[in-house]
Amino acid sequence: MVNYENVPQNLIQAVVPSNDTCKEFIANDIVSSNPKVVGIYRLIMKAGSYNFRALAIQGIIKHLKLLGTTVIIYELKPDEDNFLGCNMINDLDIFKSRSDVIVANRISEELEDSLDKMYTPDLSGSDY
């Protein structure tokens, strides 16, 4: 059994504030381009999964809304019309046309025509 008795506990305590700082930074970075509407592309990250209640993107959405930004969400099969006060849209063309910035975890083929307005950590596009 591993003994963590001598591991500094402040490392663990720093994780939550660090994650919050990162979400706030991302939201501020997105807003710096002055978008009227920010689109969140897919809350569901894993194929076959329909649980998006505990995703990190929720913190970014909350920060964007605190900054006064309108946020819409594209999801193929939304359970509801509204999530965290954001309209859910299941028509990709409408979503793309309404979004000034599209936030996506990964670049997908269906977003190739919107690369000029993408905000993503997937710089290489190697995931599709």
- Is residue 98, in this structure, part of any structural domain at all? yes
Pairing of strands 37-41, 101-104: parallel
CA distance 68 to 29: 14
Range of the domain at 86: 10-119
- Is residue 125, in this structure, part of any structural domain at all? no
Backbone angles phi, psi at 110, to 5 degrees: -75, -5
Total domains in the fold of the chain: 1
Q: What is the pLDDT of residues 58-90, one digit of tens each?
A: 999 999 999 999 999 999 877 788 889 999 999
CATH number at residue 60: 3.40.50.720
What is the pTM (predicted TM-score) of this model? 0.78
- Is residue 4, in this structure, part of any structural domain at all? no
- Is residue 34, in this structure, part of any structural domain at all? yes
